[in-house]
Amino acid sequence: MRFEHLVEIAGDEPLFETGLLLTPPVDPADVRRQLTRWAASGRVVQLRRGLYALAPPWRKRLPHPFLTANRLVPGSYVSGLSALAFAGAIPEYVPEVTNSTRGRSHGRETPLGRFSFRHMKPALHFGYREVDLGDDQSAFVARPEKALLDIVHQQPEGDRPEHLGELRLNFDVLDLDALDGAAEAQDAPKLRRAAGVVRRLAERAETYETL
């Protein structure tokens, strides 16, 4: 396979997998050897085994970090601080994309950014949806209420008022009834306590605004 052929096939894709290139009569072994060479020469970026992006100037679309996270670990969804920031529920910029996965917890440093994946039991994989990221890209992202509960679940003492207060939550974005419902659905006392703390923080913030 020539590089020009690769650009013709994958040029419109923000990310591509090896399988996209293996249409007969292509030799799979030859394709993999070429990808290794092109990655070494800087023409393509390898994100994991079998997942690549074209490098500039051949890249036409920059992969969104959330799309990249979903493709790095299929079945994962963006959650935690990343999902809260995306929804406008916290004021901070989050440089690392945080995710929940059924697999093991681990981190990945790639040419397209830093990604962390935290294990979540399969029974707790709900509360996320596919969102439009623009530029014909989309990704699975937790709703802000579920993202907040994922933080509480994954962090020791994550239900403490001090910890939740430090997040500086935007209560105009959070649906407190949905938060209560999600906490009840996960049947974990820690999450129910956290939902109660968040509701009290919201009531306190509303009181201050009316003074």
Composition of the chain by helix, strand, coil, percent to 5: 45, 20, 35
Name the pTM for this structure.
0.92
pLDDT greater than 90 at residue 207: no
pLDDT greater than 90 at residue 24: no
Q: What is the length of the chain?
A: 211
* pLDDT tens figures, 154-200: 999 999 999 999 999 999 999 999 999 999 988 789 999 999 999 99
Evaluate whether 14 touches 63 at the Cβ level (below 8 Å).
Answer: yes
* pLDDT tens figures, 173-183: 999 999 999 99
AA identity, residue 85? A
Q: Which of 89, 72, 84, 194 is nearest to 128 (CA)?
A: 84
Q: What is the pLDDT of residue 65?
A: 98
Q: What is the pLDDT of residue 211?
A: 47
